[in-house]
Structure 1
Amino acid sequence: MSAGSEYRSPISPQSSSSSSLWILPCTVSQLLSAATVNQDSFALYEQELYQVSVVGLVRGFAPFVTNVQYSVDDMTGPPLVVKQWVNTEEPLKTLQCQGKYVKVIGSLRNFNGQRSMLAMDVRLITDLNEITSHMMEVVRAHMQLSRKTLDVNMNVLAAAGTRGAGPPEPGFLRGLSAVQEQVLEAIRRRSYWDQGLGLDELRAELSYLRIADIRTSLAFLLNEGHVFSTIDEHHFKAAEY
């Protein structure tokens, strides 16, 4: 579908209580070519977009009284305008992002015919491996959404189904790796406990994983708001369970 095409999405926000929490990893070109559902609602492969993430280079920014507008370029299309509302009582912390890679989480918007991204979070990337990781997550999500099997060169091998066959797995839409999804699921199952799940208990339950991978996944889940600490920094609950 072209960016200007219209269609009725088979999935609405009311169809799933967790839809609004999904974070779909995307490229700029995907966001700019997504089908239009209505003024501020878009879709890829008939899956309506809620929260999305992009990784790109900050080509420039323009600070205003209430917001900062970034120009984020991931080299898949023209730079994407990203708007982030700021706390007017705090000094702007944007200069260090100029010419550096950032990860943006937010939602796609349409203003006067121009698409832009309303950012919930703009985070500076310090480990360049995260750029590669993001692109891998984009490919995985693309395969889930399109129901296609690709080779290492992104050539279509076979169609595993048709569009609209159902939403992809939640882990893909949240932008989580397999390890991060396992850690989140373990914490979610114990979130009804008053203190949540302790780190030692988490390590015992996921004993087949390296502790370094568990800690890295925990740091990511905490930073992205999927989990939070309770009585201390070693006990956790899931934001949604």
Structure 2
Amino acid sequence: LSAPQVSNDTFAVCDLELNQVSIVGIVRGFTPFVTNMQYSVDDMTGPPLCVKQWLNEEDWSLTSVPPGTYVKVIGSLRNFSGQRSVLAMNIRCIKDLNEITSHMLEVVQAHMLLFEKVLKGLRESSLKVKPKHPDRPQVVLSSIAHKVLRVIRRSCVLAEGISLQDLKSQLDYLSMRDIRASLVFLVNEGHIFSTIDEHHFKSAEH
């Protein structure tokens, strides 16, 4: 639900447009309305999601999903009056718990593939290799990664380091995509590490 909104009902993650989302979670509650059913679905990644499903008279007997039931929701992200929700095309009860594990693995794989593309693009466009010796190439930080690292080093006095939001506020002239890509690169190269969670970072050099 934190994906940037690029236009009406169009959202993107790292410049990739979201057309359809798949969610697996527990139904925490539901509220029936005249034309739709609204579910509160908890996928364990944050606050419960508001899932709306349009109904007709024939659907009412098929859509009573009791709280505590695992479901898989397929739909699209919507924004109405500043509140984001998922407009469901299909809501299905999960009977085989292996499907939950499978979904978690799919999420991890998608995350890794996405940031692999971001990191590859950053390396190709912003990084240069200047070898001091033929057998010992040295990776030179891009100007963006250098700025990110400099701000993180200034915050080394804090035990938890600096949060992603504080980093963005100090580098407000950079896009969140460039900052995230630089963080991925700096972590992989050993310049920084995460602290209390995946959104706080600290320099490896004290």
TM-score (norm 2): 0.56
Residue 148 of structure 1: CA displacement?
Answer: 6.5
RMSD (Å) for aligned C-alpha atoms: 2.2
Residue 36 of structure 1: CA displacement?
Answer: 1.2
Q: 2:5 aligns with which of 20, 27, 36?
A: 36
- 1:78 and 1:127 mapped to 2: Cα distance? 25
Q: 2:115 aligns with which of 146, 151, 158?
A: 146
Structural mapping, 1:78-227, within 5 Å: 78-147=47-116, 159-162=119-122
Aligned to 1:60: 29
Residue 42 of structure 1: CA displacement?
Answer: 0.4
Aligned to 2:14: 45
8 A contact 1:147–1:160 mirrored in 2: yes
Residue 162 of structure 1: CA displacement?
Answer: 3.6
Q: Which amino acid aligns with 2:80?
A: F
Which has the bigger relative contact order, CA under 8 A and spacing at least 6? 1
8 A contact 1:147–1:162 mirrored in 2: no
Residue 90 of structure 1: CA displacement?
Answer: 4.0
8 A contact 1:59–1:99 mirrored in 2: yes
Q: Which has the larger radius of gyration?
A: 2
Cα pair distance change 1:84/1:147, threshold 3 Å = same
Q: Which amino acid aligns with 2:48?
A: P
Q: Which amino acid aligns with 1:79?
A: P
Count the aligned residue pairs. Answer: 124
Instruction: Give unmatched runs, 5+ long, in structure 2.
Output: 126-206
Identity %: 66
Q: Secondary structure of 1:89's match?
A: helix
Q: Secondary structure of 1:144's match?
A: helix
- 1:90 and 1:141 mapped to 2: Cα distance? 33
Residue 139 of structure 1: CA displacement?
Answer: 1.1
TM-score (norm 1): 0.48
Cα pair distance change 1:63/1:96, threshold 3 Å = same
